[in-house]
Structure 1
Amino acid sequence: MLAKGQTVIQHMEQLAPKSAAEPDDRIGLQLGSLNKEISQVLIALDVTEEVVDEAVAAGVDLIIAHHAIIYRPLKGLQTDTPMGRIYEKLIKHDIAVYISHTNLDITEGGMNDWMAEALGIQNPVSIHEVHTETLYKLVTFVPKSHHQEVLDAVLNAGAGHLGEYSHCSFNTEGFGTFMPLADSSPFIGAPGKLERVDEVRVETIVPDGIRKKVVQALLKHHPYEEVAYDLYPLELKGRTLGLGRTGKLRQEMTLEDFAEVVKQQLDVPHVRVVGKPGRVIRKAAVIGGSGGKFMHAAMFKGADVLVTGDVDYHTALDALAAGLCLIDPGHNAEKIMKEKVALWLSEKLKQQGAATKVTASRINTEPFRFM
């Protein structure tokens, strides 16, 4: 059984909810259709022509990338331009492109957590908080005969998480009444006859990012033809998510030694460094992509060094004057996401029993060469 495109993306949005993205970020489906079966998914950092050729050769139906293929508004679509040629090739081979960017950076267990883990940062916390998750209360009414099945379905879909606790719910027995009308096909009772049924009121908490998935699980497992349920926002807030991560290193080391760790763990041939090589590093911060503007936030959190890409000259001077070390491994260091997302998504599809294959792109999209 192959997974549908929408199903693949529902799994992806469980990892990186769209609601966690920064405003105006270019995320979501950017090209093609998800209304099809997906035999193979390719995970990429960037969608270059070489990556598209790789996808075509492998028979890929869907590319999930970190960086947007359509970043600036299109005024036209000319197929004799470099980007137009890429769009044309994707459309001709029916390859959809879906983008997961700052929502993947911000989410727990996403880009910045992967980078922090790779660099040995312990108990990481966000550098810059940007999003507090909205929680919803789901209330539904289930006949006692199907109570456990429906409860298990919504909890296994991700409902019921509260802090460090999972599978939280409240269940109250009572009775429900209804009269099936002439054109109905009731699970219990007969048209025109008032029914009184022993039911259980089920209440649980649902994070905003998985509302659709939880409701689908409810409707799939609930026996009634018409399912009564409520979803309403709560004053209680969920997780606070943010950009970047900071924390103490497993063991302190010099800036020079930590720069070697960064090179090895993020698989980059070189780094740019600001600070004295012998400076002792006890607490480090990391932010994928271009994070120089969060220099002061990292310092406020007590970091000795900030690891981030695309550091400009004046930011480097400011950091040097302020006593904050910098290590710039380049923007392409975010390629750590390819294997991580591929592994995560493969496992989710396997649990579902889908034969859809997920692979990480082998194309190096680093545009810079150092001579």
Structure 2
Amino acid sequence: MSIVVKSVCKALERIAPLRLAEPWDKVGMIIESPVPRTDAKRVVLTIDLTTAVLEETLKVPTALVVSYHPPLFQPITSLTLANPLQASLLKLSAAGTSVFCPHTSLDATWGGINDWLAEGITGPQKATAKVNILGEVKGEEGGAGRIVTFDDPVNIEELVQRVKKHLSLSQVDVGRPLTDKPITSVAICAGAGGTMFSGVDADVYFTGEMQHHEVLGAVARGRYVILCGHTNTERGYLPVLAKKLSDALSYLAQEESPDGLSLEERAEIKKYQLDIHISQTDRHPLDHM
């Protein structure tokens, strides 16, 4: 493993420990190139490893792609070029590029994606809004989802405007119960939150997507539902991750770092001047027409 890949993986573990990931998830090193390029100083951050992201990545020597969603999720019996996702992994490996996935560990950690979503809906009430873990509490390091409670109620129109502004969206899908009511609590889950919201007592369910009957059931029980598109609840976090990664790498290069890097490796990190690049071709896969 190259020093670039090793140090970035250690930095990502500081940001979002893999032990926080859900048991069903596929996180960590997805594929490690056996021929890492010594001249590669770029790390690419993306939500999905699409063909467009692959082509973008191959244009510049790249040590590591950090793909939020795991490119390999279901068990496989072969890796072939006939499968586009598998082909991307094979081509990256041949080019000396490895692939790492943080996924639900990045959702759960304090300061991760779900906390970023919570920040976006508090607005001017940030000082008084309370953010707590929704779902399993995983020690002191975080937990699966978030629930925000307001001392002063907010109406659905105001909340939707906060969501659209935070996610840079012109429209979202909203499920409304028959009778409008003031909102004092919002349950949050990045991506697909239907399962996590089951049995949760909150005025609003805010996520990327839910199944049709999950939405019907929530609205029938008097809940609002705000759906933004799966990856739209995740992509805006990439600049935050880029800053956290840069800070973590700077920390690893310091002598007081307890993360087990040798003096030679720390010197290499300082020398490399890594280019942390947010993919410009990664995008939500669906268009409104």
**TM-score (structure 1 length as normaliser):** 0.65
Distance 2:152 2:24 in 1: 39
Match for 1:255 among 147, 153, 156? 156
Counterpart in 2 of 1:56? 58
- Offset, 1:295: 2.3
Counterpart in 1 of 2:169? 268
Match for 1:343 among 240, 243, 258? 243
Counterpart in 2 of 1:168? none
In structure 2, relative to structure 1, the CA distance for the partners of 1:57 and 1:240 (3 Å cut) is closer
Counterpart in 2 of 1:210? none
**TM-score (structure 2 length as normaliser):** 0.82
In structure 2, relative to structure 1, the CA distance for the partners of 1:366 and 1:328 (3 Å cut) is same
Distance 2:107 2:284 in 1: 19
Counterpart in 1 of 2:256? none
Aligned 8 A contact 2:27 2:103 in 1? yes
- Offset, 1:130: 4.4
Q: Quick check: which one's helix share is greater?
A: 2
Alpha-carbon deviations, 1:50-89, whole Å to 9, x = none?
Answer: 1111111232210111100111122222213322431232
- Offset, 1:97: 0.4
Counterpart in 2 of 1:141? none
In structure 2, relative to structure 1, the CA distance for the partners of 1:344 and 1:297 (3 Å cut) is farther
Match for 2:189 among 283, 287, 292? 287
Alpha-carbon deviations, 1:307-354, whole Å to 9, x = none?
Answer: 012211111111112111110111112112311111110122234235
Distance 1:4 1:240 in 2: 26
Counterpart in 2 of 1:195? none
Query: What pairs with 1:93-132 in structure 2 (closer than 5 Å)?
Result: 93-120=95-122, 122-132=129-139
Could you tell me the percent identity over the aligned residues? 28
Alpha-carbon deviations, 1:280-331, whole Å to 9, x = none?
Answer: 22222211011112224531xxx31110122111111111121111101111
Counterpart in 1 of 2:263? none
Distance 2:150 2:169 in 1: 20
- Offset, 1:270: 2.3
Distance 2:116 2:186 in 1: 14
Counterpart in 1 of 2:210? 311
In structure 2, relative to structure 1, the CA distance for the partners of 1:251 and 1:29 (3 Å cut) is same
Counterpart in 2 of 1:173? none
Counterpart in 2 of 1:246? 147
Secondary structure class of the residue paired with 2:185: strand
Counterpart in 1 of 2:279? 361
Amino acid in structure 2 at the alignment position of 1:245: R
Amino acid in structure 2 at the alignment position of 1:131: K
Distance 2:284 2:152 in 1: 31
Deviating beyond 3 angstroms after TM superposition, the runs of 4 or more aligned structure 1 residues are 33-38, 249-252, 276-279
Distance 2:17 2:101 in 1: 12
Distance 1:296 1:24 in 2: 18
Distance 1:84 1:310 in 2: 26
Aligned 8 A contact 2:48 2:282 in 1? no
Distance 1:103 1:348 in 2: 16
Distance 1:322 1:257 in 2: 22
- Offset, 1:12: 0.5
Q: Quick check: which one's strand share is greater?
A: 1
- Offset, 1:3: 4.8
Secondary structure class of the residue paired with 1:307: strand
Secondary structure class of the residue paired with 1:293: helix
The runs of 5 or more residues in structure 1 that have no matched partner are 133-238
Q: How many residues align?
A: 261
The runs of 5 or more residues in structure 2 that have no matched partner are 254-269
In structure 2, relative to structure 1, the CA distance for the partners of 1:240 and 1:30 (3 Å cut) is closer
Secondary structure class of the residue paired with 1:256: helix
Aligned-residue CA RMSD (Å): 2.3
Counterpart in 2 of 1:184? none
- Offset, 1:250: 8.1
Aligned 8 A contact 2:65 2:99 in 1? yes
Aligned 8 A contact 2:33 2:94 in 1? no
